[in-house]
Structure 1
Amino acid sequence: MTEVVRLDAVSKVYGKGQNAVAALREVSAGIPRGSFTAVMGPSGSGKSTFLHCAAGLDVPSSGSVRLGGTELAGMSETALTELRRGRVGFVFQAFNLVSSLTVLENITLPLRLSGEKADAAWLAEIVRRVGLDGRTGHLPAQLSGGQQQRVAIARALVVRPEVVFGDEPTGALDTMTARDVLVLLREVVSALGQTVVMVTHDPVAASYADTVLFLADGRIADSMTAPTADKVAERMTRLGAWKR
């Protein structure tokens, strides 16, 4: 399988001198196209930094990050913004919807920011897949938390990105609603061939992925294919300082 994201020997250090903190240490990993990858680890293990570097939201201190065939190192902030807008989708714990825009306007916002028109057939397809038929004229305040996250997922998909990054996308949802969102993300991968990378602290959420990457102390400590919630939870108890 081809890799849509590739990190090679990526390190990220915040601060200088005695105040320097290494968030990532020589991390190498590939994300296969059309896969669902969960990233887990103790607090401070580097999960969010991994996602931010992989998505072009942050610049590594050293190492290489490639999206498709594009090396991100050395790109200007303007070029990175254009790359993220056209080739990457984001879903965060906070839904980040614009309260004054309708569901449809929120979904198509990335296209309008790029000066592009929506593909009507694709827009209708993703609205249907995320279960928002009949609600496209609503404002975010008129939706439940789960429905708002569905809007965020549709917004991430509208540009047909090469990869969707999720940072704790179910963290603000109750367990039933979280399950619905995870089923949707799983379907997006299985039915549409989308690539999803999700940072999570929840072993149940991670069990929906094809592969789990475990981070500890800024390094990849392990990986697991065909994860179950029990196996993930058990592995999490033996990471970094927790294993001592």
Structure 2
Amino acid sequence: MNEAVRLESLYKTYDGGVTALDGVTATFAAGSFTAVMGPSGSGKSTLLHCAAGLDRPTGGRVFIGGTELTATTDTAMTKFRRDRVGFVFQDYNLLPSLTVEQNVLLPQRLAGRRADRRRSQDVLTRLGLGDRLHELPDRLSGGQRQRVAIARALVAEPAVVFADEPTGALDLRSAGEVLTLLRAAVHEHGRTVVMVTHDPVAAAYADSVLFLADGRLAGALSAPTAEAVAERLTHLGDLVAARPSGAVA
């Protein structure tokens, strides 16, 4: 299996002794779409942030494309993240004073690279925004803003795209459109997507689901349906209690 992301015995403890991740080991294959699910406080967003290099784990190692992210300095980690990682946030994280095209090109400019306007326009056109290049974000719907965020994540051709509740602020139709775009990025363009979500319907767009509870892995599900995901979520507490730390069903 060609690995896009590998997590080895990840621990994350915050001040006050709160453990958010408790020995998590997982692998995400290249060209796969994985949903990460669990109850509030289960550690899923912490896992995503540590895997993406937005936060450092207290212990353990993170590899992206075979390179150990956790072995680098903070400056090198930031550069690596800009070059190899895309991120999609629930609240879009678009700058309101920049146009659609300028928002998409911003990571390249921050990285000191020449902005590839032709590629950005091509990606935006494929996402149905070719006629909105010069619009400001406040002139767009929520679904359109999230498509801009996806374009920004994809334009640099990252090794992996991490998405943190990307449909949490969207209506059902817009959410379906965004999830279809993420799935197409995987199945038609070979990208790797790791998505945190609380929604079983959203998780059903993924190839597989990884479940977390109390900062520990609590099973996995291939070819998920919304019904199967919802059923599994109801039993996470029992699964965690029955397994040693870091084990996967």
TM tier, smaller: over 0.9
**Alignment-derived partner of residue 32 in structure 2:** 35
**Alignment-derived partner of residue 207 in structure 2:** 210
Tell me if the contact between 1:103 and 1:151 (Cα under 8 Å) persists in the aligned partners. yes
Q: State how far apart, in whole Å, the 1-side matches of 2:36 and 2:240 are.
A: 18
Matched, 1:80 2:77: yes
Shift of 1:243: 9.0
User: What whole-Å deviation, never above 9, does each CA across 1:82-119 have from its counterpart, x for those lacking one?
Assistant: 01111100100001111111100001111111121233
Tell me if the contact between 1:165 and 1:198 (Cα under 8 Å) persists in the aligned partners. yes
Q: Where do residues 120-135 of structure 1 align in structure 2 (5 Å cutoff)?
A: 120-135=117-132
User: What whole-Å deviation, never above 9, does each CA across 1:60-80 have from its counterpart, x for those lacking one?
Assistant: 111111111211223211111
The runs of at least 4 consecutive aligned structure 1 residues that moved more than 4 Å come to 241-244
**Alignment-derived partner of residue 11 in structure 2:** 11
**Alignment-derived partner of residue 247 in structure 2:** none
Unaligned runs of 5+ in 1: none
**Alignment-derived partner of residue 94 in structure 1:** 91
Tell me if the contact between 1:168 and 1:199 (Cα under 8 Å) persists in the aligned partners. yes
SS at match of 1:187: helix
**Alignment-derived partner of residue 155 in structure 2:** 158
SS at match of 1:146: helix
Q: Which deviates further from its counterpart, 189-198 or 109-118?
A: 109-118
**Alignment-derived partner of residue 22 in structure 1:** 19
**Alignment-derived partner of residue 137 in structure 2:** 140
**Alignment-derived partner of residue 106 in structure 1:** 103
2:64 to 63, 67, 90: 67
Counting matched residue pairs gives 241
Tell me if the contact between 1:90 and 1:156 (Cα under 8 Å) persists in the aligned partners. yes
Unaligned runs of 5+ in 2: 242-249
Matched, 1:2 2:2: yes
2:190 to 185, 189, 193: 193
Tell me if the contact between 2:218 and 2:240 (Cα under 8 Å) persists in the aligned partners. no
Tell me if the contact between 1:38 and 1:200 (Cα under 8 Å) persists in the aligned partners. yes
Q: State how far apart, in whole Å, the 2-side matches of 1:113 and 1:62 are.
A: 30
Q: State how far apart, in whole Å, the 1-side matches of 2:230 and 2:126 are.
A: 30
Shift of 1:120: 4.5
Q: State how far apart, in whole Å, the 1-side matches of 2:240 and 2:71 are.
A: 38
SS at match of 1:122: helix
Amino acid at match of 1:2: N
Amino acid at match of 2:101: L
The RMSD of aligned alpha carbons is: 1.5
Matched, 1:115 2:112: yes
Amino acid at match of 2:158: P
Identity of aligned residues (%): 61
**Alignment-derived partner of residue 244 in structure 2:** none
SS at match of 1:108: helix
Tell me if the contact between 1:237 and 1:243 (Cα under 8 Å) persists in the aligned partners. no
SS at match of 1:105: helix
Shift of 1:241: 6.7
Q: State how far apart, in whole Å, the 1-side matches of 2:109 and 2:88 are.
A: 18
Q: State how far apart, in whole Å, the 1-side matches of 2:236 and 2:83 are.
A: 36
